[in-house]
Amino acid sequence: MRDVAVIGIGMNRWGELWEKSHRQIWTEAALEAIDDAGVDHVDAMFVGCMSGGLFMGQEHLGAMLADQLGMGPIPGTRVESACASGGLAFRQAYLSVASGMHDIVLASGLEKMTDVDGGAATYALSTAADQEYECFHGITFPGLYAMMARAHMAKYGTTEEQLAAVAVKNHENGSKNPLAQFPMKVTAEQVMNSVLVADPLRILHCSPITDGAAAGILVPLDMAKKMSDKPLVKVAASAQASDSIALHDREEITWIGSTAKAAEDAYKQAGCTPKEISFCEVHDCFTIAEIMVTEALGFFDRGQGGKAAESGETALGGTIPINPSGGLKSKGHPVGATGVAQIRELVMQLRGECGERQVKDAVRGMSQNMGGTGASTAVHILERV
């Protein structure tokens, strides 16, 4: 297997992009990544998209977007794993380059979610849950994560104040991100007094519905050394794991087993420990998700993620900065694009390009992107060369 570097990244401003089609949104990010890499072609491309058919009425995205890019003969592949689609599209691009199958590969993610009403969006997202055993009985993702939150609170003493601390921190970071959908700061009081969605989760505990895309260009590390004058960023680890989709099939609903397993494999590949990670982008679709993920990644003991957020350990100046981009909560969550946007943030941080939200002395970054309530997880570790 060859060493692989990320030499180009792209992303547009996320939000409710009424005036742009899904192909426009994707092409903007793809061309920006190509320009950033300084290449004039790609050998293959992968696009993560959870539900193009339900959100946009468009499937067959791999071929369509390869043609849209003007590179139609190349293989274009759509990757789906619910909200982990982007992370797994990046993983497929990585494996394509590492295996020697292709030299210059575009990894991308896309979702256009706001062209349908709230009910249709809820239905589309619910396809990532167990239709027969969960959705048939009326549950939605806010309800599923609310159950996870209540169980975590009952078992470990996690508090509503600790949940709010995650939202406050991520909006503080997002206020420094010019591409974030909701770059405004919030207070704990605002979070705790916002509209109740599914007890104990309120609207400011939840990530939004978003239109957006992100992209990256991957090449062999040896090639990158010859073609890029930017600081080099190497993919040190790429790991994937799965779990049952339905919560009731899991041994413990306060533990995201797929994330723990993927992280274990990633640390082994990179030859490092959680203490050697400079910062991490995690899948905070709900504030309780960030708390549980930081525990599964090994940054904190089980049940201690909420206390860590409340004490400032996960803030930009803390022991392990979490979501310096603002995370899904502030940056936005176009589900198929999120995993690739996390990679973009890792590359920018490791290049030292993040301005006010720059993590000091960042040498190794991690991303964790998951589908549903953690039935699928992609974990990546990138290093500054």
Token output for 295:
């525990």
The whole-number average pLDDT for the span 62-71 is 96
How far apart (Å, rounded) are the C-alpha atoms in residues 126 and 137? 12
Which pLDDT band holds residue 76 (cuts at 50, 70, 90)? Answer: very high
Give the homologous superfamily in CATH for domain 4-117+209-227: Thiolase/Chalcone synthase (3.40.47.10)
Phi, psi for 243 (deg, rounded to 5): -150, 175
Which pLDDT score is estimated for 154? 98
User: For residue range 256-304, what is the model confidence (pLDDT) as tens digits?
Assistant: 999 999 999 999 999 999 999 999 999 999 999 999 999 999 999 999 9
Which pLDDT score is estimated for 119? 93
The whole-number average pLDDT for the span 309-327 is 98
For the chain, domain boundaries? 4-117+209-227, 124-206+235-384
Number of residues that make up the chain: 385
How far apart (Å, rounded) are the C-alpha atoms in residues 303 and 11? 35
How far apart (Å, rounded) are the C-alpha atoms in residues 237 and 258? 16
Asked if the 124-206+235-384 domain carries CATH number 3.30.1360.120, the reply is: no
Residues 9, 215: contact at Cβ < 8 Å? yes
Catalytic residue, from 22, 49, 83, 280: name it: 83
The whole-number average pLDDT for the span 360-365 is 97
How far apart (Å, rounded) are the C-alpha atoms in residues 79 and 60? 11
Phi, psi for 329 (deg, rounded to 5): -60, -45
Write the single-letter amino acid at 210. T
Q: Does 67 score more than 90 pLDDT?
A: yes
Q: Does 110 score more than 90 pLDDT?
A: yes
Residues 8, 214: contact at Cβ < 8 Å? no
Give yes or no: 380 in active site: no
Give yes or no: 206 in active site: no
User: For residue range 191-219, what is the model confidence (pLDDT) as tens digits?
Assistant: 999 999 999 999 999 999 999 999 999 99
User: For residue range 44-65, what is the model confidence (pLDDT) as tens digits?
Assistant: 999 999 999 999 999 999 999 9
Q: Report the percent of the chain where pLDDT is more than 90.
A: 99
Catalytic residue, from 152, 205, 283, 333: name it: 333
For 16, other C-beta atoms within 10 Å of its C-beta total 15
Which pLDDT score is estimated for 228? 86
Strand partners, 109: 48, 214
Residues 336, 14: contact at Cβ < 8 Å? no
How far apart (Å, rounded) are the C-alpha atoms in residues 371 and 237? 19
Token output for 350:
């490791």
Is residue 188 classed exposed, middle or buried when 0-12, 13-18 and 19+ CB atoms within 10 A define those classes? Answer: middle
Among 135, 130, 136, 153, residue whose Cα is nearest residue 201: 153
The whole-number average pLDDT for the span 168-172 is 98
Which pLDDT score is estimated for 9? 98
Among 261, 286, 283, residue whose Cα is nearest residue 144: 286
Q: Is the pTM of this model over 0.85?
A: yes
